Each structure stands twice: as C-alpha cells, then as structure tokens.
Structure 1
C-alpha cells in the first residue's frame, strides 16, 4: 500500500473517531438538558402555588434556580466530570452560613460523578433553606451538623451523609409532605440513584442521604 493510501486511510479513521466522540458528547448534553428541564419544571410547579403570593413564589423559584446554577458550576470548575464532595458541601453551605459558625461538616475525601453532585447539592440547598426559615438557623443559637462516611461496595462504593439540626424551635411533623421533602427524595432517587429520608424529630430535623461515590 502506498504512503498516500495509508495517509488517506488514517484520515478516514481519524474522522470516524471524531464523529463518534462528537455523538457521545451530543448525547450526553441532550441527557443533561432533559434532566435540567425536568428539575426546573418541578421547581416551577411547586414554587408557584395558589397558597402564597407571587413575590414569595418568585423568591422561592429564583433561589432554587441560583442553587441549580451553582451546582452546575461545580462541573465546570475542573477538567474531569467528577466533583470533590467536600468542595460541593462547602460551596452549597457558604451562602447560608458565610462565617462558617453555624454549620459544621466533616468526612473522608470523596468524589461524585456530575449528576450525583448536582442532586446532592440541590438536596442540601433545600435543607439549608428550610433550616434558615423555620429550623435551627432561624434562631440565634441553632446549629447544623453534617457528617458523612464511605462504604465500599462491589460497584464502587456509597457515601452516607447525615444532617442534624439542633437548638432551633420545637419541631412538629408537617401535615403534608412539602416540596422540599419530595424534591429531596425524588432528586436523590431519580437523578443520583441514591436514597434519602427526612425525619422531623422534636429536637431538630434529621436527614440521611445515600448516593454513589468513590474515594478521592
């Protein structure tokens, strides 16, 4: 085979590989966009309710949009499609606790894939918002503790994150499950292939998440 023929064959193979890579990127982008639109649709339906004013609805919706945008910013911060768990927690909490005085968090260094990181960040945002309005962070002395552990599994491993509020007003179980609780459970289950449970204990809300993760 001549050098020209070999060069032409190499060019064809290169173009084919580029086309496959482009298709993978496009398919991944389409999948992510569909997921984002589904999340935004759910946020809009629950934010704009007949039992609250338009201003309150707009405030809730815009807050959730900002949290969603911040969560996706995490995916663009590094060269890989994985997100450091500690950094995700820190950036999600920062707007609600600027001085790092009310919320403490600890756990081993882990990484999450992109969709899992966004789902966990949105769930934490809902908990932070509720704590600021009605829970431990609505009082001068209330605190929140976040702690996570890692469990190796045949498929890679899982992180178990526990949220606990203390020092806030006495907690009573709600008469109906609110958007925050439903959103947390749905997001972790559908988007992150994980689990979530929110418990309204008398001394403060407790939430437990589980989601796929791996050591950093």
Structure 2
C-alpha cells in the first residue's frame, strides 16, 4: 500500500478538523462584524445631532468611517490576532503628519488584540482631528507628543498612553463636554475595556488613556 494512501477514518478526521477551523473563522468574523456595527452606530449617534449643521455632521461621520476603514485595513494586512501598538499609532498618525515632523512618539514594544487596536486607532484619530482643526496641529509651530508605558494591575497588563499638545492656540475649557470627548471615552470603554481622561490645559490639550495590552 502506498504511504500516501489514507483510510476512510483519516478522511473523516480531516473533514472534521476542517469544519472546526471554518467554524472558528466564521465565529471570529461574526464577532468582528458585530463590534464594527456597534462602532458605526456610536459614530452615527454622536456625529448627527440636532444642534449641528447637516454638512458638518456628514464631514465628521465620513472622517470617522475612513479612520475605521484604515484601522481594519491594518488588521487585514496581518494574519494574526494581535497587532503591534506602534503600528497602530504610526498608521493613524500618517494622514495627519505626512512629514513625520509634528508628532513625536515613544514607548516600549507592545501588542493589542484586534478589537482594542481598532478602538485605540479611533481614539487617536479623534484627537488628531481635533488638534488639526483647533489645537497644536492647526498652527505651523505646534507639536504633539505621544508617549506610552506598560503597566500591570489587577486586570492584567495595560498600555498607558499620554497625549500632549504644545505650541498651539491658547486652550480654554469648553462649556460642555464635546462629542469628540464623549466618543473617545465611549469607544475605549465599550470596545477596549479601557478608560480615558481629557484635560484642557492652557498650553495644550492633554489626554491620558489606558487599554488592555501585552508585551511584544
């Protein structure tokens, strides 16, 4: 008998293993799709409000959709369940700082799971958009520093990121929390089991947030 011959039992086991692998892939796709739809729903609710013009709402919503698509493109180019934190940061920054001269980043090598990576990318996109419109990136000399560290707590490993703007227009605390702030807080809390705090300091916005992560 040829060494390559297989028994009916072997064929059954191969089919069973293939079916299990397909089920894992389908379950993962379903999970990601549900999460993505929840994010889109949150974006729509916070982009379209009665107190803002429709054109402005459409611009905000389309910008967030593009950021969400870019975040998922990052995941699709890597056939793994975890994504490098630095890759998420750099790919999100790129459209806002083409020359790599305005946004400085530093931190240890870390990785995120897929859902957390999307949430972090969306939070950074919101901060970058606000900085480009109203903050440090709206001026020629303004800069942003993004620094992160790895911390271990009762809930396990987490990345702690600090965002600080400098050189932009003087900052005045808003009379009420804007939709951008709420979007960041809800995105991180809902999708990444994280938390965020945004402070409107006179010399530039400071944001600190945490999300689950592990060392690379």
Q: Structure 1 length as normaliser, TM-score?
A: 0.91
Provide structure 2 residue ranges, at least 5 long, that are not aligned to the other structure.
Answer: 1-5
Number of aligned pairs?
Answer: 211
1:30–1:204 distance in 2 versus 1, CA, 3 Å: same
- Residue 137 of structure 2: aligned partner: 137
Provide structure 1 residue ranges, at least 5 long, that are not aligned to the other structure.
Answer: 1-5
- Residue 161 of structure 2: aligned partner: 161
- 1:98 & 1:33 partners in 2: Cα distance? 31
- Residue 46 of structure 1: aligned partner: 46
Taking the TM superposition and a 5 Å limit, the aligned residue runs for 1:81-120 are: 81-120=81-120
- Residue 210 of structure 1: aligned partner: 210
Q: Alpha-carbon deviations, 1:54-113, whole Å to 9, x = none?
A: 222221111100000000111112221211111111110111111111111111111111
1:126–1:16 distance in 2 versus 1, CA, 3 Å: same
Query: What's the CA shift for 1:155?
Result: 6.4
- Residue 60 of structure 2: aligned partner: 60
User: Which moved further from structure 2: 148-157 or 107-116?
Assistant: 148-157
Query: What's the CA shift for 1:53?
Result: 2.5
Q: Structure 2 length as normaliser, TM-score?
A: 0.91
What is the CA RMSD across the aligned residues, in angstroms? 1.7
- Residue 199 of structure 1: aligned partner: 199
Q: State the SS of the aligned residue for 1:141.
A: coil
Query: What's the CA shift for 1:154?
Result: 7.1
